[in-house]
Structure 1
Amino acid sequence: MTSTEISPAQRYRDLAAGFTARIDAVPADRWDNDSPCEGWTARDVVRHVLDSERDMVKVVGLELAPGPSVDDDPSAAWAAVRDSMQAILDDPAKSTLEYDGHFGRTNLGATVEGFLCFDLVIHGWDLAAATGTDTTMRDTDVEWVSEIAAGLGESIRMSGVCGPEIQVPDNADKATKLLAFLGRKA
């Protein structure tokens, strides 16, 4: 790792803080608003993130600590999952546990970084768009997610992942182009 790279644990900590801020910004009366993800409300977006994180650690025989239901308290439900995932990532013996993934042999930390951290950025935007809160994404996050998305090839279009790319003008900003690539309208 060079001095400009960060570990999966560091990336998760940073992006989870951003996702936390997005959750904390949601007014109580907007959790059932429709999201850009077809058929999902804002609450469902958070539910998906929580379920993805819980399911991910199970592939290496781990479990996240239980917490409140997203239906009762989305913020507290997220905090329980976030803190439990962070503890796993901060433990090299756990974060380097290997398994056979969709793209071959990998480890938990690499998958959290390449998949779950990706979700924190994009579903953070989905949550903000659904609830009328600030949808701004940091340029560094847009660039990083764009690289990950490009590397996924056509697998990004699998059922339940992302919709078809939406056409945008050539002069659109990078965030708009990324969202369009992922089937979202900025």
Structure 2
Amino acid sequence: MDTGRSEIAERYRRRADAFEATVAAVGEEGWGRPSPCAEWDARDVVRHVVDMHSVMLRPYGRQPTPADVDADPLTAFRTARADVEAVLDDPDLAGQVTESPAGTMPGADMVDRVVSEDMVLHRWDLARATGQDDTIDPAELERMWPALQEIPDVMRVPGAFGPGVTVFGPVVEVPDDAPLQHRALGLLGRDPAWRPPAG
């Protein structure tokens, strides 16, 4: 595996580890809590991440390993990440050029730009919904910030990556002097002030 692909795989695993730890910390009573994503509860956040992992397999004609988010969100995520890691760990698949709404690129780059970064955002969603520490790694924010300012319009189009899939919502206006995490969340279509209803 070349250096670039190795870095992508390592970055994916780091982000997946963080997301998995957040999923693992949700108590059974927490799965029905509302999330910052309109009409989604905490379980739906995991369902979306699992679904996006399935999208990463489509260019290869692969089907996701069966898993049930309703029955066991943690196992479902672990299963989905194993499917994507199998692609990243295969030099031929990782380097295979694929077509995506974000353009033509090697499969590993598609994983990096879509589902890998998606987990950073949705870890915040899940943590905020379930009362966990929702701090985004400052190094992640610094790395992602330039690209966040240039998110293609297609990434905000519902269904661009498949039926029912929306990558980013409309921009939420945040003051220019707000903390970087708040500004990043605004560009990612999140209101950084959102809190789940009390009770």
When normalised by structure 1's length, the TM-score is 0.89
Question: Is contact 2:149–2:187 with CA below 8 Å preserved after alignment?
Answer: no
- The match for 2:22 is 22
Q: Which moved more, 1:157-166 or 1:124-133?
A: 157-166
> 1:6 offset after TM fit, Å?
5.6
Question: Is contact 2:170–2:189 with CA below 8 Å preserved after alignment?
Answer: yes
- The match for 1:154 is 153
Counterpart code for 1:125: W
- The match for 1:174 is 180
- The match for 1:106 is 105
- The match for 1:144 is 143
Distance 1:134 1:114, change over 3 A: same
Q: Which moved more, 1:78-87 or 1:164-173?
A: 164-173
Question: Is contact 1:19–1:121 with CA below 8 Å preserved after alignment?
Answer: yes
Counterpart code for 2:33: N
Question: Is contact 1:125–1:136 with CA below 8 Å preserved after alignment?
Answer: yes
Q: Which moved more, 1:98-107 or 1:128-137?
A: 98-107
> 1:134 offset after TM fit, Å?
1.0
Alignment root-mean-square deviation, CA: 2.1
Question: Is contact 1:142–1:174 with CA below 8 Å preserved after alignment?
Answer: yes
Structure 2 unaligned blocks of 5 or more: 159-165, 193-199
Q: How does 1:1-186 map to 2 (within 5 A)?
A: 7-67=7-67, 69-159=68-158, 160-186=166-192
> 1:3 offset after TM fit, Å?
7.7
Distance 1:6 1:97, change over 3 A: closer
Q: Aligned to 1:151, what secondary structure does the other structure show?
A: coil
Question: Is contact 2:12–2:112 with CA below 8 Å preserved after alignment?
Answer: yes
- Detail structure 1 runs of 4+ shifted over 4 Å in the superposition: 2-6
> 1:57 offset after TM fit, Å?
0.8
Structure 1 unaligned blocks of 5 or more: none
Q: Distance in 2 between matches of 1:171 and 1:23?
A: 32
> 1:14 offset after TM fit, Å?
0.9
Query: Identity of counterpart residues, as a percentage?
Result: 35
Distance 1:150 1:26, change over 3 A: same
When normalised by structure 2's length, the TM-score is 0.84
Q: Distance in 1 between matches of 2:30 and 2:57?
A: 30
